[in-house]
Amino acid sequence: MPRDEKGVYRLIKSVEPESSGPLALSVRNLTVALPKGMDRIHAVENISFDLERSKILCIIGESGSGKSVSANAIMGLLPKALRVTSGTIELDGIDVTDIPPAKLRDLRGRVVSMIFQDPLSALNPLMTVGAQVEEVMAAHNVGSPQSRRDRALALLTEVGLPDPEVMYHQYPFRLSGGQRQRVMIAMALALEPTILIADEPTTALDVTTQAQILELIREIQRRKGMSVMFITHDFGVVAQIADDVVVMEKGHIVERGTAQDVLESPKHPYTRQLIAAIPRLRYEDRDTPEATSETSRLLQVEGLMKTYRTARGLFQRQRVVKAVNDVSFELAHGRTLGIVGESGSGKSSLGRVLIKLLDNDGGAILFEGRDIAALSEREFRPLRAQVQMIFQDPFASLNPRATIGHSLTVGPIAHGMSRDAARTDAMALLEHVGLDPGAYDRYPHEFSGGQRQRVGIARALMFKPKLLIADEAVSALDVSIQAQILQLLDQIQRETGVAMIFITHDLRVASQICDEIAVMQKGRIVEHGPPSHIFMAPQADYTRELVAAIPGRRAGQAEAAQTGAKQ
């Protein structure tokens, strides 16, 4: 069987474009209608853009801008509630707007493939990785069973998965987020398409894994001469990989151009707003008061341990993972400690142990001098109001059947507050976090992600806590909403003096809001200090790797240059 220059088995010849022109993809005057009763008529309205051959086009915009709708329209994967009402979509010279479904299925995978945002939901949990990669080829009647297996193993190797023979037999739930995304890329490349559409493929990944996936897509694109349409809401990603950029807002294209032109000389106010919202790495420390006395110490953690043990099977050894391994730190009133690290570093486990959602295996958690780790649940219950958590996914953490008012007041009422007082406090807090008091009687599904996160912050503040633990509280938000939430948390801290533990995988975000930063790796704190020390003179190799992997330095520099010019 013939191989390419990387030794990868080739089951098919590269798809020759049916058009000899420079465009791999051409969208003209595309309009997609929304169902009746929505806040606007069209998901996208009269948009036109081109993807040149062997180039990367980034489509950028916030949630609701129409990015993913455009991609699904190109793939013919729009939900039934949405419909294309006008316009044309040409893939390699073929107008796919009204072609029969069978012919469109033949083009998917062979001419155009898609990498989805959430690989865990896109992959079949009941099929092994190898079977899912092979299924793409089998659906197009390509190769024999043995040649498909060889091709699948070669693809798993090509996308950088460790031990492909083992990965071939694994199920998706056993893989990390970055590994699952690599499997999705392998599936997308199985038939060597000429066009690759990547829909927010790095949004939920930690900074080093994100850098690896971006570099992998860029390297494969260059080597195979593919055309890539990359959807994102982060200009940091644009700065790293894009050749050309299209900026979308509320279903319209508001700006387009080369990446360099858009980053360095943005024309539209919305584009400038998105660039300004990029969390830049701050090298200077915040101007919050220093902790100078014993009385200012709120939290003292000493030698904290948390170990996970898997069940022992007949042919399987028990696995022991030290998620939190001898962790010690202090936190003063009114200060913010950032806990940063990759997925699996132990950040979230640490947060859950601190709030006693998980029991620790050793060590002490001294809250105002009292070891809460040694307290029973009954003994800790009166203190629980003083230690509150803001969760990563506010939609999952809010009861979809309960009004916002109920979600805000049920806890304080259970702790003895009167209904009238709880309602008064809830209405005041909703206004304080930037929501209309009318939100009190509405349900979570009626709000955007950023608004739901504001509800989560208000719920945590209902107890007037002394310590807030924010677990990846802004990681899934658009950059402009993210900036608003960070500003809100900073404002609340300065007004109330609440201390915060801010858990994140994004060092740029940590530098914006944290007084001190603790870097975690494999359950241990490998470096601890103020942002200026962590980012300007990191001592640990792991910290240097995290800083080096931060995306979008070019975008951050452009934003800084614009700010300096205005001043």
Check residue 173 and report its DSSP letter.
G
Rounded CA separation 442/406 (Å): 10
Q: Which amino acid is at 362?
A: G
Q: Which two tokens stand for residue 66?
A: 């129409």
In terms of DSSP bridges, do strands 362-367 and 467-471 run parallel, antiparallel, or are they unpaired?
unpaired
At 118 the pLDDT is 77
Q: Which amino acid is at 446?
A: E
Rounded CA separation 466/43 (Å): 43
H helix or E strand, kind and range, residue 87: strand 83-91
What 3-state DSSP class applies to 478? coil
Query: Among 238, 281, 279, which residue's Cα sits nearest to residue 257?
Result: 238
- Sequence-distant (≥ 6) Cβ neighbours of residue 267 within 8 angstroms: 255
CA distances (Å), 412 to each of 16, 52, 151, 405, 469, in order?
Answer: 65, 58, 59, 12, 18
Helices (H), 242-336: 259-264, 269-276
Instruction: Let me know if the fold of 23-276 is the same as that of 296-386+500-551.
Output: yes
Check residue 437 and report its DSSP letter.
G
Give the full edge-to-edge strand order of the sheet including 320-332: 320-332, 297-309, 362-367, 370-371
> E-assigned strands of 146-237?
195-199, 227-232
At 211 the pLDDT is 84
Query: Among 127, 154, 113, which residue's Cα sits nearest to residue 11?
Result: 154
Q: Hey, what's the torsion of the CAs at 324, 550, 475, 342, to 10 degrees?
A: -20
Rounded CA separation 63/248 (Å): 10
CATH number of the domain at 23-276, please? 3.40.50.300
Domain residue ranges of the chain, discontinuous segments joined by +: 23-276, 296-386+500-551
The residues pairing with 10 across neighbouring beta strands, listed in sequence order, are none
For 154, how many CA atoms within 13 A lie in the half-sphere containing its CB?
21
CB 83 within 8 A of CB 69: no
At 422 the pLDDT is 94
Rounded CA separation 292/185 (Å): 52
Q: Which two tokens stand for residue 286?
A: 């915040």
Rounded CA separation 530/288 (Å): 12
Rounded CA separation 545/406 (Å): 45
In terms of DSSP bridges, do strands 297-309 and 362-367 run parallel, antiparallel, or are they unpaired?
antiparallel
**Averaged in consecutive runs of 10 residues, what is the pLDDT profile of the chain (567 residues)?**
41 41 88 83 93 94 88 90 92 87 88 86 91 93 92 92 89 84 91 91 77 88 92 87 94 95 94 86 73 71 90 64 92 94 86 92 93 91 90 80 93 91 93 86 81 88 92 80 86 90 89 93 94 90 88 50 45
CA distances (Å), 535 to each of 283, 347, 378, 512, 546, in order?
Answer: 6, 19, 42, 12, 10
In terms of DSSP bridges, do strands 244-249 and 56-60 run parallel, antiparallel, or are they unpaired?
parallel
Rounded CA separation 518/151 (Å): 43
At 519 the pLDDT is 95
CB neighbour burial string for 296-314, b if at least 16 within 10 angstroms, e if fewer: bbbbbbbebbbeeeeeeee
At 310 the pLDDT is 66
What 3-state DSSP class applies to 315? coil
CB 232 within 8 A of CB 238: yes
Helix axes 207-224, 177-189, angle to 10 degrees: 10
Helix axes 207-224, 541-548, angle to 10 degrees: 50
Stated pTM of the model: 0.75
The DSSP annotation for 325-381 comes to EEEEEEEETT-EEEEE--TTSSHHHHHHHHTTSS--SEEEEEETTEEGGGS-HHHHH
Cα maximum dimension of the chain: 77
Residue with tokens 């107008």: 95
The residues pairing with 329 across neighbouring beta strands, listed in sequence order, are 301
At 315 the pLDDT is 54
- Fold that domain 296-386+500-551 belongs to in CATH: Rossmann fold (3.40.50)
